[in-house]
Amino acid sequence: MKMAKITKGYPFAFQVLGHFTWKNDGEYNKALPQFKQYLEDYVYEKIWSEMSEGDKKLAYGVARSERGKAKEIKELSGLSDNEYSVYRDRLVKRGILDGSTHGYVEFTLPLFEEFVVYMSEK
């Protein structure tokens, strides 16, 4: 259950975590650094490279947001209401954000917020 929660139900991530857990004698905590690095190298860098500057601003706001509230994300990202809506809808359609709760968004990808902050601040 803990592994499912970490992967947010993302099948590929669950498979990767399971593989590294198996390689670490069933200890998923030991597998987490390898899991994180694998996702960054083979999934997240590609996603990031295909995002527009506006997408990246919004993603940074989501990553830095404490609760995922739209108002807070707009302030953190510096996007206007119109810009926010356009980029939010794009990232929802790409499966990067979950916008199913009115006024809130969150990443659908496990540990993506850490990756976004790292890439945005480097």
List the chain pLDDT tens, one digit each, 122 residues: 999 999 998 999 999 999 999 999 999 999 999 999 999 999 999 999 999 999 999 999 999 999 999 999 999 999 999 999 999 999 999 999 999 999 999 999 999 999 999 999 98
Write the DSSP symbol of residue 97. E
Report d(CA 26, CA 41) in Å as an integer: 23
What confidence score (pLDDT) does residue 42 get? 96
Tokens read off for 14: 């669950």
What confidence score (pLDDT) does residue 122 get? 85
Report d(CA 78, CA 83) in Å as an integer: 9
Q: Where do we find the tokens 């990808």?
A: 109
Report d(CA 107, CA 95) in Å as an integer: 9
Report d(CA 56, CA 61) in Å as an integer: 9
What confidence score (pLDDT) does residue 117 get? 97
- Residues contacting 111, CB < 8 A, separation 6+: 36, 39
Report d(CA 37, CA 3) in Å as an integer: 16
